[in-house]
Structure 1
Amino acid sequence: MTVAALRDVEVDYDRGRALGPVSLEIGAQEIVALVGPSGCGKSTALRLLAGLETPTRGTVRRATGRGETAVVFQAPTLAPWLSARANVALPLELAGMPRAEACAAADAALARVGLAGAEAARPAQLSGGMAMRVSLARALVTEPKLLLLDEPFAALDEITRRALADDVLTLWATTRSAIVFVTHNVEEAVYMASRVVVMGCGPGTIVGDFAVEGPLPRPPQFRTTPGFRTTAEAVSTALAQGVGA
Structure 2
Amino acid sequence: MSIVQLTDVEVDYDRGRALGPLTLGVAAGETVALVGPSGCGKSTALRLLAGLEAPTRGAIARMTGRGETAVVFQAPTLAPWLSAQANVALPLELAGVAKAEAHERAAAALARVGLSGAEAKRPVQLSGGMAMRVSLARALVTEPRLLLLDEPFAALDEITRRALADDVLSLWAASKPAIVFVTHNVEEAVYMASRVVVLTRGPGRIAADFAVAGPIPRPPHFRAEADFRATSEAVSAALAEGIAA
TM-score category of the 2 structures, normalised to the smaller one? over 0.9
Contact 1:50 1:148 in 2 (8 A): yes
Distance 2:215 2:102 in 1: 34
Distance 1:193 1:164 in 2: 14
- The percentage of counterpart residues that share the same residue type is 78
Q: CA shift at 1:170, angstroms?
A: 0.2
Q: Helix, strand or coil for the counterpart of 1:210?
A: strand
1:21 corresponds in structure 2 to 21
1:218 corresponds in structure 2 to 218
The answer to whether structure 1 residue 10 and structure 2 residue 38 are counterparts is no
Length-normalised TM-score, structure 1: 0.99
The answer to whether structure 1 residue 47 and structure 2 residue 51 are counterparts is no
- Render the CA deviation track for 1:180-212: whole Å, top value 9, x for unaligned: 000000000000000000000111100000000
2:80 corresponds in structure 1 to 80
Distance 2:174 2:64 in 1: 22
The answer to whether structure 1 residue 160 and structure 2 residue 160 are counterparts is yes
Distance 2:60 2:114 in 1: 35
Contact 2:3 2:64 in 1 (8 A): no
Q: Helix, strand or coil for the counterpart of 1:217?
A: coil
Q: Helix, strand or coil for the counterpart of 1:106?
A: helix
1:183 corresponds in structure 2 to 183
| Structure 1 unaligned regions, length at least 5 | none
Contact 1:10 1:55 in 2 (8 A): yes
| Structure 2 unaligned regions, length at least 5 | none
Contact 2:64 2:146 in 1 (8 A): no
Contact 1:83 1:122 in 2 (8 A): yes
Q: CA shift at 1:176, angstroms?
A: 0.3
Q: CA shift at 1:63, angstroms?
A: 4.1
Contact 1:10 1:56 in 2 (8 A): yes
Contact 1:169 1:192 in 2 (8 A): yes
Contact 1:6 1:24 in 2 (8 A): yes
| AA matched with 1:12 | D
2:65 corresponds in structure 1 to 65
The 5 A counterparts of 1:194-213 are 194-213=194-213
Q: Helix, strand or coil for the counterpart of 1:21?
A: strand
Distance 2:61 2:147 in 1: 15
| AA matched with 1:230 | A
| AA matched with 2:115 | L
Q: Helix, strand or coil for the counterpart of 1:17?
A: strand
Q: CA shift at 1:5, angstroms?
A: 1.0
Distance 2:60 2:134 in 1: 29
1:140 corresponds in structure 2 to 140
| AA matched with 1:116 | S
Distance 2:75 2:218 in 1: 26
Distance 1:2 1:174 in 2: 20
Contact 2:9 2:56 in 1 (8 A): yes
Contact 2:27 2:178 in 1 (8 A): yes
Q: CA shift at 1:62, angstroms?
A: 2.2
Q: Helix, strand or coil for the counterpart of 2:117?
A: coil
Q: CA shift at 1:147, angstroms?
A: 0.1
| AA matched with 2:227 | G
Q: Helix, strand or coil for the counterpart of 2:163?
A: helix
Q: CA shift at 1:66, angstroms?
A: 2.3
Q: Helix, strand or coil for the counterpart of 2:26?
A: strand
